[in-house]
């Protein structure tokens, strides 16, 4: 069979592309807006030293800030999405560069604002609110800034910290360059002696192969090569956590974890509660590992057996039109207004559907929601592609609801809640599909897909989070992150999380060296908390119907109108307790039990 040719961008039917003309009718109109924004840094800078003078001045500053938020979002969104259509297009690469230059100039000009807003006395601010009722719109963003008062330094000290930001990015930049540009891996052979290229991008697909010889060879070759540079990667991680410690101490936080989570108004207890809750449910993971060993029919289950499918392939081709119809059916529980927005997005070209030469890989929902969100896909007509559609449209409609339900200043939402709506859509889709079939093979295939989500999102990300927490504490105790110490800790965690039926191969001790998320400042735990919250919300919607849906839509429309934990409470989920994590992993255990029964 002839391999299908990937089309040029010009060969893609227009109905399968997103309509960026909704942002700007043409590149020429974008250029006019770009020129118009050149004066904005000067307009922002004109407020320097004046924010505490009067209620009217403060109101005018925030209104200009809102205007700039929308205009910059559109300017950057259009340029970035044009470039993502064809990443080799020099014209749009230059356009995006220009857009980012404007953004940097504006944010630089506005750097005075935070210290000035914090310096306004409480009684003065109370008087401003009384004099100008319109300022009430901005009470929340003002409170977000002013709550950090204890951690904001003098103007001179803030200038020094700002100058140090460039240095702070160096560990991530160096690690990324080493992993993505400099590291080279040997080809690896399959059971028939055929060579396969091994790269950072092909590593996991090779581990998904049904060929165990290929999986083992890829696993050993990859980590052997990582082992040759383990000391360099350990040094970059040590530098990463030392810069976190520096900024944490400078801003008077108790720990690097507290400093990182405080930016999103999340308490450290939520992080540690997650780890404790997962520890309390490791028995379910052990049972899953035992089932995986049985279904693969192996005497020993090794770490190179973790990704390969354990259920005979029941995949069918799912064309995009069928995927859209199925997603609409599954999400009908959210009401006609929700599915109506989905249909609007499908019909009005919010989505760029298929791969073309040079197009950005993967999938995303744009941060730009003016006049509406956009979604990039690389549709493959598979089950995974259908779940990706549901996931990204979950992001898109959360952005849409927040944009419509909130003023500009609180329309964005923080990363702690960013994966909830997208994952909730996936769970509702999965429950819908499971509800439609009694075929044992199809159910087993779907359940295995669902279990892999749990395993990869809750258990694996929590293991990463625990490892990251240990790294932070090590550096805070004035110890050094050496390669040997990192390997010893990681191997111990791997044995804890996978249990006695898994052979924790020596090579897996080096897995930490390939994970870029350890440079993201305590980021990964939010995958696990977000997934757990989404399971709880989906379960409530399916059990309670209309009242739960109404609460969920209030959450979707919440933006950053309150802190993220309070926002999730609106949807009926209290992430300050281990309850949602325990509930999600109870479902995981039930699915493991069903897969045991039908396989």
H-helix or E-strand spanning residue 364: strand 364-365
Q: Could you give the count of Cα atoms lying within 13 Å of 118 in the half-sphere of its Cβ?
A: 17
d(CA 86, CA 79): 11
Sheet of 351-352, strands arranged across: 351-352, 375-376, 364-365
Task: Count how many residues are written for the chain.
Answer: 599
Cα 4 to Cα 448: distance, rounded to the nearest angstrom: 29
Rounded CA-CA distance 116/65 in Å is 15
Bridge partner residues of 189 (DSSP): 195
CB proximity list for 318: less than 8 A, separation 6 or greater: 326, 381, 382, 383, 385, 386
* Count of other CB atoms within 10 angstroms of residue 352: 25
State how far the alpha carbon of 473 is from the alpha carbons of 244, 249, 469, 476, 525, in Å: 11, 13, 6, 5, 16
Cα dihedral 237, 240, 245, 247, rounded to 10, equals -170
Q: DSSP of 174-186, one letter per residue?
A: HHHHIIIII----
CA-closest candidate to residue 411, choices 63, 71, 106, 70: 70
Please confirm, yes or no, whether 392 is among the known catalytic residues: yes
CB atoms within 10 A of CB 511: 20
CA dist 286 and 275 (Å) reads 16
Question: Which of 156, 171, 162, 212 lies closest to 189 in space, CA to CA?
Answer: 212
Cis amide bond preceding 371, omega within 30: yes
- Which residue spans within 134-285 are E strands per DSSP? 188-189, 195-196
Closest listed residue to residue 548, CA positions, set 373, 424, 388, 405: 424
User: Which DSSP letter does residue 2 get?
Assistant: P
Helix, strand, coil in percent for the chain, rounding step 5: 70, 0, 30
Which residues 6+ apart lie within 8 Å of 521 measured at CB?
Answer: 244, 260
The helix/strand/coil state of 481 is coil
Task: Put residue 574 in one of left, alpha, beta given phi > 0 → left and psi -120 to 50 → alpha.
Answer: beta
Six token digits for residue 193:
């002696």
User: Is residue 222 a contact partner of residue 322, using CB atoms and an 8 Å limit?
Assistant: no
Which of 15, 33, 228, 392 is an active site residue?
392
Token duo for residue 371: 């006049």
Distances (CA, A) of 63 to 33, 365, 409: 19, 27, 9
| Residues labelled as active-site residues | 392
């Amino acid at each position: 069979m002839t391999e299908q040719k990937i089309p040029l961008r010009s060969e893609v039917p227009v109905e399968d592309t997103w309509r960026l003309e909704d942002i700007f009718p043409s590149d020429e109109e974008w250029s006019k807006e770009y020129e118009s924004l050149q004066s904005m840094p000067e307009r922002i800078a004109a407020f320097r030293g004046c924010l505490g003078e009067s209620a009217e001045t403060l109101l005018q500053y925030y209104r200009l800030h809102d205007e700039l938020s929308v205009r910059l979002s559109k300017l950057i969104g259009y340029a970035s999405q044009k470039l993502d259509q064809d990443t080799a297009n020099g014209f749009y690469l230059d356009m995006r560069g220009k857009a980012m230059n404007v953004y940097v100039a504006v944010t630089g000009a506005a750097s005075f604002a935070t210290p000035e807003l914090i310096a306004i006395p409480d009684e003065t601010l109370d008087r401003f609110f009384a004099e100008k009722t319109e300022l009430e719109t901005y009470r929340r963003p003002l409170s977000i800034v002013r709550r950090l008062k204890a951690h904001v330094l003098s103007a001179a000290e803030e200038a020094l910290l700002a100058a140090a930001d460039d240095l702070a990015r160096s560990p991530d930049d160096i690690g990324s360059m080493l992993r993505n540009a400099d590291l080279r891996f040997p080809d690896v052979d399959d059971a028939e002696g055929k060579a396969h290229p091994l790269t950072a991008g092909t590593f996991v697909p090779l581990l998904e192969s049904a060929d165990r010889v290929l999986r083992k060879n890829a696993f050993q070759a990859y980590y052997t090569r990582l082992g040759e540079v383990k000391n360099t990667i350990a040094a970059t991680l040590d530098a990463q956590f030392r810069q976190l410690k520096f900024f944490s101490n400078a801003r008077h936080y108790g720990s690097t974890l507290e400093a990182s989570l405080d930016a999103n108004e999340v308490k450290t207890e939520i992080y540690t509660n997650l780890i404790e809750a997962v520890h309390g449910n490791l028995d379910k993971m052990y049972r899953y590992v035992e089932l995986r060993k049985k279904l693969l029919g192996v005497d020993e289950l090794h770490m190179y057996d973790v990704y390969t499918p354990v259920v005979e392939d029941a995949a069918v081709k799912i064309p995009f039109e069928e995927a859209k119809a199925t997603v609409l059916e599954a999400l009908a529980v959210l009401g006609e207004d929700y599915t109506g927005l989905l249909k609007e997005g499908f019909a009005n070209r919010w989505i760029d559907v298929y791969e073309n030469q040079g197009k950005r890989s993967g999938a995303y929902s744009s941060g730009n929601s003016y006049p509406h969100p956009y979604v990039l896909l690389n549709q493959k007509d598979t089950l995974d592609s259908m779940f990706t559609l549901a996931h990204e449209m979950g992001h898109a409609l959360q952005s849409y609801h927040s944009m419509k339900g909130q003023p500009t200043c609180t329309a964005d939402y923080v990363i702690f809640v960013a994966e909830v709506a997208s994952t909730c859509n996936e769970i509702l889709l999965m429950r819908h599909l499971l509800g439609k079939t009694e075929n044992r093979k199809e159910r087993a295939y779907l359940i295995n897909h669902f279990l892999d989500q749990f395993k990869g999102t809750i258990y694996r990300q929590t293991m990463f989070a625990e490892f990251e927490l240990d790294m932070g504490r090590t550096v805070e105790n004035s110890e050094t992150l050496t390669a040997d110490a990192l390997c010893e800790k990681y191997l111990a965690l791997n044995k804890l999380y996978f249990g006695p039926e898994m052979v924790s191969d020596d090579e897996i001790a080096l897995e930490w060296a390939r994970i870029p998320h350890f440079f993201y400042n305590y980021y990964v735990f939010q995958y696990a908390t977000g997934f757990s919250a989404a399971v709880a919300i989906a379960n409530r919607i399916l059990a309670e119907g209309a009242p739960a849906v109404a609460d969920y839509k209030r959450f979707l429309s919440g933006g950053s109108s309150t802190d993220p934990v309070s926002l999730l409470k609106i949807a009926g989920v209290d992430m300050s307790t281990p309850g949602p994590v325990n509930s999600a992993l109870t479902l995981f255990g039930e699915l493991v039990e069903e897969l045991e029964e039908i396989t």
